[in-house]
Amino acid sequence: MEKYTLIVTEKPNAAQRIAKALDSQGTPEKVEEDGVPYFLAHRDQKLVVVPALGHLYTVVHERGRRNYYPVFNFKWAPRYSAERRAKQTRTWIEVISRLASNAENFIAACDYDLEGSLIGYCLLKYACGDKEGVAKRMKFSTLTKNELEKAYEEPLSSLNFALIEAGRTRHEVDWLYGVNLSRALTLAAKRWSGRYATLSTGRVQGPTLKFLVGREKEIRSFVPTPYWSIRSEVKIKSSVYEVEYETKTFEKKANADAVVEACKGKTGEIETIEVRKLRQKPPIPFDLGKLQTEAYSLFRYTPRRTSGIAQRLYLEALISYPRTSSQKLPPTIDYRAILKKLKKKTVYKKLASDLLRKDELKPVEGKKEDPAHPAIYPTGNMPERELSEPEKRVWDLVVRRFMAVFGEPAIKQSMKASIVVNGHRFYLRGRRVLKEGWTRFYKPYIRAEEVLLPTIKDGQKVSMKQVMREDKFTKPPPRYNPSSLLQKMEEEGIGTKATRADIIETLYSRGYVAEERIVTTDLGFDIADVLSKYCPRVTSVKFTRELEEKMERIQTNSEDRVNVLVEAVSQLKPVLEELKEKEQAIGQVLSQAIKRARMQERLIGNCPDCKTGKLMILYSRKTRKRFIGCTNYFKDICTTSFPLPQKGTAKPAQKNCKGCEWPLVFVRMRGRRPWMLCFNPKCPLKEERRKRNEMQSLQKGN
């Protein structure tokens, strides 16, 4: 059989793009073996490009039962041997192994980061039979034809073993903490109550939950205090403008009333006018964190959703590799070539043309640098398929940010006029744009509004149109949202650019937090309290950050993997000993918390009939059918009940119906879009819908 070079990639989409770029005709042959696709390409020799499905290997307990801890003996094994839902990975490994047996050369072409390096290493070592030492490495930041050809023609002579060691260590340390602490919590609850419920925590999850609990405690213990402010307006010519009083807040109501009394209905005089020009620099390029923050702010996409969208755009060769912490754009990406490609799209034509007329293209850059990849930028390629609306938005955001970093500073003018009324001072503020600069490239995503003022001069008289006292109360600190929590994790140096969004999603899926403005649940409080009481080190930001820093030093060969693992185990052992010693007390606390959480998950709202009971999702003992019933039913006080769909999942929506104000139920059913169900049979919206349907039926009949 003809020998060939085997190129291993991370995912099927990437394999197809790499094969197409490297095939001399651009038409590689697709082969499918036992449901596993791979591609045959011809260049200077025969190439076989085969994809993985992300991680095909994982860390597992080397031997022993699953229902005990501590466990410190681990090994790397195929995912199908450890995860029930990963059975298909057996076939993928078998196909890759067969292809490796006839290959004479090996190339790793997975994403050039911790995860991609580790995926390629595991494939070459375990599936290909210890080929990690002889394989070459393709390094690229985009899946464009030119860059992939260059990465193939000029490969790295070997894998980046420092990056691989750092990736291995991170997975192993996370496994040690995750499996031991999660088992400790889960088994404590099960042994006390006899019922199983999955509980988890980990090296990053614990400190992240601690942030949220700390903020929730601040909010719940916050006592609002009253204060007063002045709301005022002036009339200049025929227009009315809002002005602000020199003292923003008053601790005494009488002082605010004195201002109102002294200024209401009076005429003021413009004493001074201060005009300033401000230069606003262009924004810096996107790293993953900044892209996630901006997409949440503009579109309300969660960090995990943005990461997923960006990954799809990368696989479509529309943007560069998104999992980067770099805020720099090196000249080697060829700014002009990208802009010339973008110019082909009508919406970008004028903007790209204006930038191309510049003598020099020099981007504004941030401080952070990633040795593996530059900041996120568009490749200039146009979509080969119809993008979804979220994909269009994120792609457009990346394109416009890229163009904006080459723009000129925006010049803005601010004006502040001081108005004196009966010895009191008010300020009239205005702002306008003198030169758009970079903002015209980023315009759809600019939030600043102009406040244009009329022509005014010193000594000009103005009449006070309105002066009134406003009664206010101090507010607690704001709750985190997924974006601000991700920023907090980044600031504190815990987690990685690739894992932070998943940690946040895990907190939601475990039921520790809820809602967009993140509220810590009772279960989340109890988990955090147990960890803080019995193993405070696990929730320590300082401890987690130090571990992160050591694992990062492995990438530069300034720290040893074994030392990091030994230290992690030595720190973990006493924590687990204390958890085991206090297992009964911990189990009782957690079991009661789980019981309350399960009850809360079924609670719909107040009963509209008896007014004293609660409506909740119940199950009939006879038929096992679910329905909504009143808790007073068990006290023989109320018999209120309502039917529910029997298929799919149903849970409280935490919202009320706009038509009748009854609580809504969120229903999700396979094959249908989720919907909000109002179970009030007399809801006016239902009556309107019924009449509308009757009218449509009559019209069709005519």
Tens digits of residue pLDDT in 272-319:
999 999 999 999 999 999 999 999 999 999 999 999 999 999 999 999
pLDDT of residue 27: 95
The end-to-end CA distance of the chain, in Å, is: 74
Coil, helix or strand for 270? strand
Determine whether 69 is an active site residue. Answer: no
Residue 64 has pLDDT above 70, yes or no: no
Question: What secondary structure letter does DSSP report for 282?
Answer: P
- Summarize pLDDT for 514-543 with one digit per residue, the tens: 888 999 998 999 999 999 988 888 899 998
Q: What is the pLDDT of residues 153-169, one digit of tens each?
A: 999 999 999 999 999 99
Beta strands in 436-568 (DSSP E): 461-473, 513-514, 519-520
Tell me the domains of the chain and their CATH numbers: 4-159 (3.40.50.140), 168-220+478-594 (1.10.460.10), 226-282+410-473 (2.70.20.10), 288-404 (1.10.290.10), 604-695 (no CATH)
The pLDDT mean for the chain works out to 93
Alpha-carbon distance of 526 to 538, in angstroms, equals 15
Residue 279: both structure tokens together: 């230069």
pLDDT per residue over 613-670, tens digit each?
A: 889 998 888 888 899 999 888 788 888 889 999 988 888 887 888 888 888 898 888 8
For 81-99, what is each residue's pLDDT tens digit?
A: 989 889 999 999 999 999 9
531-552 residues labelled b (16+ CB within 10 A) or e (exposed): bbebbeebbebebbeebbebbb
Average pLDDT over residues 62-85: 88
Catalytic residue of the set 80, 177, 301, 321 = 321
Q: Which CA distances in Å does 73 have to 170, 179, 403, 565?
A: 16, 12, 51, 12
CA distances from 242 to 270, 389, 446, 472 (A): 15, 39, 23, 19
Is the pLDDT at 702 greater than 60, yes or no? no
Cα–Cα distance for residue pair 575/193, rounded to 1 Å: 23
Task: For residues 67-79, give the mean pLDDT.
Answer: 93
Both structure tokens of 513 = 């937090």
Averaged over 411-420, what is the pLDDT?
95
Could you tell me the two tokens for 572?
Answer: 């973990």
Longest Cα–Cα distance of the chain, Å, equals: 99
> Are the beta carbons of 587 and 192 closer than 8 angstroms?
yes
CA 689 to chain centre: 38
Nearest to 404 by CA among 373, 361, 369, 374: 361
Residue 452 tokens, joined: 């244009």
Q: Which helix (H) or strand (E) holds 340?
A: helix 335-342
Q: Which residue has the higher pLDDT, 598 or 558?
A: 558
The mean-pLDDT minimum among 64-73, 163-172, 432-441, 589-598 falls in 64-73
Distance CA 3, CA 596 (A): 63
Exposed / middle / buried, residue 160 (Cβ in 10 Å: 0-12, 13-18, 19+)? buried
Q: Which residues share a beta bridge with 397? A: none
Whether residue 1 has pLDDT greater than 70: no
Share of the chain above pLDDT 70, in %: 99
- Residues in Cβ contact with 488 at an 8 Å cutoff, skipping those fewer than 6 apart: 211, 480
Question: What H or E segment, with its residue span, contains residue 338?
Answer: helix 335-342
DSSP letter for 10, please.
S
Region of poorest pLDDT, from 28-37, 126-135, 509-518: 509-518
Are 185 and 524 contacting, i.e. CB atoms less than 8 angstroms apart?
no
- Percent over 90 (pLDDT), the chain: 76
Is a pLDDT exceeding 90 seen at residue 426?
A: yes
Structure token pair of residue 150: 């260059």
